[in-house]
Amino acid sequence: MKTDKLFEMNVGVTTVMNFNTMKRHFKESFISMARNRWMSFASISAVTVTLLLVGVFLTIMMNLNKMSTDIKNDVEIKVLIDLSANETSEAELQQQVEKMPGVESVKYSSKKQELDKLVKDFGNDVSLFKQENPLHNVLYVKADDPEQTEKVAKEIEKNPAVDTVKYGKDKIEKLFNVLNISQKVGIVLIIALLLTATFLISNTIKITITARRREIEIMKLVGATNSFVRVPFILEGMWLGAIGSILPIIGVTTLYSIVHSSLAPKLESSVVQILDVMPFILEVDIILLVMGVLIGVVGSFMSVRKFLKV
């Protein structure tokens, strides 16, 4: 009952924010940013520095990831078929391998094709083998998961029609170890960087808002609801975060374009490729923008919440 009376005394406003108020909040957030120039500058700088680091790091990490995937996908098992095997047992072998769990693809290559490849790579010096081809017929097998290569290879080896299985055992194991470790280190670093960034930025925002603690108190004494106080601050945090992401976006985009144009041609014939500028850098840019906005909004929200209880 008493609440009804309160609301009734108050020119009917409760939950739905009207258009004028929303407009007022937007205006308020811009004015506040302009009047707190130095604080705004400090917050924007903090966002800029961290997002720049995150951007560079993200670009490197995603490329390393792509390269390691390239290398992994290049790993295949070369199954040399026993010379004594006839066509039927070769076909059986191929079928058996194809049905094997963990096998992605199987490609048959006759010893003639193998010799052609050899001739292509080494020239006519090896063409004298053409009289009597000493090579084996071969199956090229790819595993679904490159790390399962060894298991698949051992399984294939059991078939009597197989002479030898080659998959660069030691090399692959070492490579996978290195890749795994570097990926884990990268993830740990990114998380550490993000935590530092969040801490640094929310700290800056907290300082900004602590300076306005008195203002928040006064607003509440004049009858402002929590959301009325909060919305302009959150909008302001959003602008600050977005503005802070501008330089990192420009920087990372430019830097990557330059690096890409000088590095990509050199890697053209290699197994390992770096990511194309588009759409990759656009994704990074969006991530940076979203992170900036998110940091600003969350930072404001957390800090303003502390002072709302008056």
CB neighbour burial string for 52-75, b if at least 16 within 10 angstroms, e if fewer = bebbbbbbebbbeeebbeebbeeb
Can you state the percent helix, strand and coil of the chain, rounding each to 5? 75, 5, 20
Q: Is 199 in the site for another protein (CB under 8 A)?
A: no
In one-letter notation, the amino acid at residue 108 is: Y
Q: Is 282 in the site for another protein (CB under 8 A)?
A: no
Instruction: Among 20, 131, 262, 270, indicate the residue that binds another protein (CB under 8 A).
Output: 20
CB of 16 to another protein, least distance (A): 10
Maximum CA extent, the chain = 107
- Nearest in space to 55 (alpha carbons), one of 291, 295, 298, 294: 291
CB nearer another protein, residue 198 or residue 225: 225
Instruction: Among 153, 195, 220, 246, indicate the residue that binds another protein (CB under 8 A).
Output: 220
Q: Is 128 in the site for another protein (CB under 8 A)?
A: no
* Structure token digits, residue 294: 């998110």
CB nearer another protein, residue 218 or residue 258: 218
CB nearer another protein, residue 36 or residue 182: 36
Q: Is 215 in the site for another protein (CB under 8 A)?
A: yes
Q: Is 100 in the site for another protein (CB under 8 A)?
A: no
Instruction: Among 58, 219, 231, 252, indicate the residue that binds another protein (CB under 8 A).
Output: 219
> Residue ranges of the alpha helices (H) in 211-225?
213-221
Close Cβ partners of 25 (under 8 Å, ≥ 6 residues apart): 231, 232, 235
CB of 276 to another protein, least distance (A): 48
CB of 297 to another protein, least distance (A): 21
Exposure of 303 in the CB half-sphere (CA atoms within 13 A): 26
CB nearer another protein, residue 36 or residue 89: 36
Per-residue 3-state assignment (H helix, E strand, C coil) for 130-172: HCCCCCCCEEEEEECCHHHHHHHHHHHHCCCCEEEEECCHHHH
CB nearer another protein, residue 142 or residue 220: 220
SS3 state of residue 276: coil
Q: Is 13 in the site for another protein (CB under 8 A)?
A: yes
Residues of this chain that interact with another protein (CB under 8 A) are 2-3, 5-7, 9-11, 13, 17-18, 20-21, 24, 32, 35-36, 214-215, 217-226, 228, 309-310
